[in-house]
């Protein structure tokens, strides 16, 4: 892939300076087919603008509903907008809902501590106080073993 600057330079050399494709390819150390594609890149325009989707008329309703109820299923949304005149399929709606649905995933970071940093916690649990859940005891025992062995 060549950069837009290189495409501009190729087009300048071809159209303004009237260089041949082989000359441009040799000078810029590119394959002649790459130069040919760069010369013809914008001769056909950008193409047609995208057509209006069937869901476009219902986008505002979908955004508002998903903002209030982010876990609402696409099939339920399909039934709701079908009553409002939507004639498309549920598959099209699922694609739109996947893009509109707010991201509710939480980020988790790995906890890194120095060996023996939680050693006091282990002593508190062993003396009869502290967090007596399985996770608390397991964490304290692992921290204690890491402290003894020096393993991080």
* DSSP H or E run through 77: helix 74-82
Alpha-carbon separation of residue 86 from 21, 50, 57, 67 (angstroms): 52, 19, 8, 20
Residues 94 and 128 in one domain: no
Would 111 be classed as within a structural domain?
Answer: no
Write the pLDDT tens digit of every residue in 13-23: 999 999 999 99
The pTM (predicted TM-score) of the whole model is 0.44
Q: How many domains does the chain have?
A: 3
Residues 93 and 60 in one domain: yes
Query: Residue 125: is its pLDDT beyond 70?
Result: no
Query: Residue 134: is its pLDDT beyond 90?
Result: no
Would 105 be classed as within a structural domain?
Answer: no
Would 129 be classed as within a structural domain?
Answer: yes
Would 109 be classed as within a structural domain?
Answer: no
Write the pLDDT tens digit of every residue in 72-99: 999 999 999 999 999 999 999 999 999 9
The range of the structural domain enclosing residue 129 comes to 119-149
Would 15 be classed as within a structural domain?
Answer: yes
């Amino acid at each position: 892939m060549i950069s837009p600057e290189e495409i501009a330079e190729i087009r300048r050399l071809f159209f303004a300076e009237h260089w041949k494709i082989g000359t441009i390819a040799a000078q810029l150390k590119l394959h002649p087919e790459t130069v040919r594609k760069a010369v013809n890149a914008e001769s056909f325009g950008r193409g047609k603008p995208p057509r209006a989707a069937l869901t476009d008329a219902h986008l505002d309703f979908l955004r508002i509903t998903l903002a209030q109820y982010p876990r609402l299923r696409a099939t339920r949304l399909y039934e709701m907008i079908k009553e409002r005149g939507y004639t498309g399929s549920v598959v099209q709606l699922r694609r739109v809902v996947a893009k509109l649905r707010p991201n509710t995933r939480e980020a988790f970071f790995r906890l890194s501590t120095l060996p023996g940093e939680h050693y006091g916690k282990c002593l508190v649990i062993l003396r009869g106080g502290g967090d007596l859940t399985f996770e608390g005891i397991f964490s304290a025992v692992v921290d204690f073993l890491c402290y003894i062995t020096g393993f991080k």
